[in-house]
Structure 1
Amino acid sequence: MPTGLFDDLLVIDCASFIAGPAAATVLSDFGARVIKIEPPVIGDAYRNLFRLRGTPDDIDYFWALDSRNKESLALDLRRPEAQAVLQTLVRKADVFITNIPFPARERLGVRAQDLMPLNSRLIYASLSPYGELGPERDRTGFDATVWWARSGLMDMVRPTADAEPAISMPGMGDHPTAMAMYGAIVTALYKRQLTGEGAEVTTSLLANGLWANGCQVQAALCGYELMTRPKRGERGALNEMYRAADGRHFIIASTNPARDWPLLARAMGHAEWLDDPLFATPEARFANGPILVARFDEMFAREPFAHWAKVLAHGDVTFGIVASVYDHLADDQIDANGLLPQITDSWVRTVDSPFQIRGEAKSPPRMAPGIGEHTRALLQEFGCSPAEIEALVAE
């Protein structure tokens, strides 16, 4: 078994879908042992998302990403026998992660007040849609409904002010939320190192959505009336999307127009525009933004993106391609940084957790488990007799 920075940690992933389990996945990337608790037969409901999208029954790519490296223990927590097994695990665990809705936590006996007395060093990590308190505490929610829609991001991220808002992609808010949960867990582990005591840590999709939309929320808190999304050409040529001759879109971005405008003009072979009254001052460039954008449109349409990538990079202009996910399959920059490692004993690659610690190797990713794949071995390891194991499996 590979070792890593967290190879002495035992983590119980008693959560579903993405944000909570993905936090456990990051811990596993650095060596933590993660035991996934899921219902017998049906497993984590996240397994169904793959089929609901009409995908052929081959590799469940959702599951492969967010449950890699884990061991699966199938337990029906409504049964006393399963509760006894869970409590045995909790007594030995370092971290317990859950996003079970609060009313169900009470019925299943997996609240912080139920489990933390069993282990004074336990980090109890609670994820919820809307937070631990308030009138919406018990509501269900996903990243699409809370992180994306409720936070205001969905309302603001539109091509233009009058365009319909767009539905988010699966996991778009869950994975950033998982990083917040991971950060909370590691902070609590540091506190435990100082005090010897465990802690309860919490985060929510709502809190993370507000944080992701924080610049705009802070503006509202300070009394500013936010501008609607400007139409194309109204943002200025230095912060606009363009299309090359091969149909590839790319964006140019600037936070310092006084520096970046000369760079762009010279890179495009039009240093004379710097003295042109239409564009010579920031006020003129703003007033004549549509004219300047139209000129760039005409120029960029002459050559493919690969040509312009060299021109803009040589001119020290900040730009980026609007990439397709399939572009990542053969991307030298991604490969150079090892961002898509190969799963052990498989041809499948996966997405690495988004940070490294120099000098600390990550565990090679292992394929995600089947439902209850490790149930018998785990029950035996944690003290169940052969008769008890057979009775639990039969139930």
Structure 2
Amino acid sequence: MSASSPGPLSGLRVLDLTRVLAGPTCTQMLGDLGAEVIKIERPEAGDDTRGFAPPVWPKSGESAYFVGVNRNKKSVTLDISKPEGQAIIHKLLESCDMLVENFKVGALAKYGLSYEKLKDKYPRLIYCSITGFGQTGPYAPRPGYDALIQAMGGIMSLTGEPGGSPQKSGVPVADLFAGLYGCIGLLAALNHRHATGEGQQIDIGMLDTHVAWLANQGSNFLSTGENPVRLGNQHPNIAPYQEFPSKDGYLILAVGNDPTFERFCKNFGQEHLLADERFSTNPKRVANRQLVTDTLTPLMKSKTTAEWVEALEALKIACGPINTLKDVFADPHVQARGCVIEMEHASGETVKVTANPVRLSATPPTYRIAAPVLGQHNDEVLGGLLGMSEAEIAGLKDQGIV
């Protein structure tokens, strides 16, 4: 994970017209893998998430939200609503391989920066659009927000306690999945360009990606036509696979198959359950899930969480504590895997961020630039890359273009 080793996307240049979370997640992944990412931000205001605070890092005053999804990017302030700003975008595109944007459908067309406007001039350009509902369909003009997509995409109907109200995930999964699917699409398009020399557009709709990752629950509905019910922390297809109270808290017990259930029963005084038809197979336990829960709860309360983890791990039965984030980041395995890294911010402050989880043996992710301050790389990009003079850059600043 050396900051100096080249990543697998080294030499790739990405023009980043994204903000908030879905798009920045996509472009940060590209940056971690070695791409040079030039992030275009509004003069004075910048990415919306610079203002998503508290919390902030105390010395820089930068929001924790922005710092977490904008490393390995160069910040250039530019007003793309003005012809001079659009001209600079075109100069940058002459040397860029990819453009990633998450404007509303049609918003960039009025600036001459839609894919249709650019594809003939830059035929090798790979152009990724991330929106709430995609470029087509009746909802295409609508704005997309994470909670809205979680609601419309069905996941909220599946999340929460039985009989309780629908719940969204505690993290913005709709945004994150859209960003990651966008990155997958960009890498596929890059491989296509290697073979043909042709660029293309990737159309990522958050609702599309949300439907795609409904996974087993989506398949359950498609095979039956019946809406799955909310089960709290229980698994829709496996039992027991849920949280249980322990003597001092809670833990997750995941009994994935019949041999594991047999091993569990024989080692914890529950052999009689193996002769009970209602417990004999996983489908029977799923059909009688409340009985399974009620039967095992007194047993699970007989030990502390730590005692259960030790005993169950010795038998290779999956289990684990329900950690707070403090517990997560203190976990010895999380620490051994290097899941948190420290980076030097331009303010001189050391900031902590979660590491990229993609483990590549030959070309691992690199951590070169902490999330930039607004306009940090104006002179480097405009002067160094585009060859503008100091006077030209100063003139653009006076006009409010940068």
* TM-score after normalising by structure 1: 0.90
- Other-structure match for 1:331: 331
Q: Provide closer, same or farther for how the CA distance between residues 151 and 283 of structure 1 changes in structure 2, counting only shifts above 3 A.
A: closer
Residue identity opposite 1:63 in structure 2: F
Name whichever of 224-233 and 79-88 sits farther off: 224-233
Matched length: 390
- For the 8 Å contact 2:220–2:228, the answer to whether it is kept is no
Deviation, structure 1 residue 276:
5.8
Deviation, structure 1 residue 90:
0.8
Return the alpha-carbon distance in structure 2 between the equivalents of residues 54 and 374 of structure 1. 22
| SS of residue paired to 2:43 | coil
| SS of residue paired to 1:126 | strand
Name whichever of 164-173 and 374-383 sits farther off: 164-173
- Other-structure match for 1:241: 243
Return the alpha-carbon distance in structure 2 between the equivalents of residues 96 and 158 of structure 1. 38
Deviation, structure 1 residue 303:
2.6
Deviation, structure 1 residue 310:
0.7
Q: Provide closer, same or farther for how the CA distance between residues 192 and 278 of structure 1 changes in structure 2, counting only shifts above 3 A.
A: closer
Deviation, structure 1 residue 59:
4.5
Equivalent residue for 2:78, pick from 75, 80, 91: 75
Return the alpha-carbon distance in structure 2 between the equivalents of residues 197 and 281 of structure 1. 54
Return the alpha-carbon distance in structure 1 between the equivalents of residues 154 and 104 of structure 2. 24
- Other-structure match for 1:270: 270
Cα distance per residue 1:327-379 (max 9 Å; x no partner): 12111222222222222475432122332222112212532011111112211
* TM-score after normalising by structure 2: 0.88
| SS of residue paired to 2:120 | helix
- For the 8 Å contact 1:267–1:311, the answer to whether it is kept is no
Return the alpha-carbon distance in structure 1 between the equivalents of residues 176 and 26 of structure 2. 8
Q: Provide closer, same or farther for how the CA distance between residues 300 and 122 of structure 1 changes in structure 2, counting only shifts above 3 A.
A: same
- For the 8 Å contact 1:20–1:127, the answer to whether it is kept is yes
- Other-structure match for 1:13: 16
Pairing 1:77-92 to 2, within 5 Å after superposition: 77-92=80-95
- Other-structure match for 1:202: 203
- Other-structure match for 2:301: 301
- For the 8 Å contact 2:57–2:64, the answer to whether it is kept is no
Deviation, structure 1 residue 68:
0.7
- Other-structure match for 1:261: 261
For structure 1, the 5+ residue unaligned runs are none
Asked if 1:224 corresponds to 2:225, the answer is: yes
Return the alpha-carbon distance in structure 2 between the equivalents of residues 226 and 188 of structure 1. 36
Equivalent residue for 1:391, pick from 386, 390, 395: 395
Return the alpha-carbon distance in structure 2 between the equivalents of residues 87 and 282 of structure 1. 60
- For the 8 Å contact 1:29–1:363, the answer to whether it is kept is yes
| SS of residue paired to 2:53 | helix
Pairing 1:32-181 to 2, within 5 Å after superposition: 32-51=35-54, 58-146=61-149, 148-160=150-162, 162-181=163-182
- For the 8 Å contact 1:268–1:311, the answer to whether it is kept is no
Residue identity opposite 2:387 in structure 1: G
- For the 8 Å contact 1:129–1:204, the answer to whether it is kept is yes
Return the alpha-carbon distance in structure 2 between the equivalents of residues 151 and 111 of structure 1. 27
| SS of residue paired to 1:343 | strand
Deviation, structure 1 residue 231:
7.9
% same residue: 26
Name whichever of 39-48 and 318-327 sits farther off: 318-327
Name whichever of 132-141 and 349-358 sits farther off: 349-358
Pairing 1:315-354 to 2, within 5 Å after superposition: 315-344=315-344, 347-354=350-357
Residue identity opposite 2:367 in structure 1: P
| SS of residue paired to 2:367 | coil
Return the alpha-carbon distance in structure 2 between the equivalents of residues 158 and 342 of structure 1. 35
| SS of residue paired to 2:85 | helix
| SS of residue paired to 2:145 | coil
Cα distance per residue 1:86-120 (max 9 Å; x no partner): 11001110110001112321222220022233322
Deviation, structure 1 residue 326:
1.7
Deviation, structure 1 residue 176:
1.9
For structure 2, the 5+ residue unaligned runs are none
Cα distance per residue 1:248-280 (max 9 Å; x no partner): x22222342x21221211332433543467756
Return the alpha-carbon distance in structure 2 between the equivalents of residues 393 and 183 of structure 1. 37
Deviation, structure 1 residue 287:
7.5
Deviation, structure 1 residue 314:
1.1
Q: Provide closer, same or farther for how the CA distance between residues 308 and 223 of structure 1 changes in structure 2, counting only shifts above 3 A.
A: closer
- Other-structure match for 1:314: 314
Name whichever of 95-104 and 349-358 sits farther off: 349-358
- For the 8 Å contact 1:95–1:122, the answer to whether it is kept is yes
Q: Provide closer, same or farther for how the CA distance between residues 263 and 348 of structure 1 changes in structure 2, counting only shifts above 3 A.
A: farther
Name whichever of 184-193 and 135-144 sits farther off: 135-144
Residue identity opposite 2:185 in structure 1: A
Deviation, structure 1 residue 289:
5.1
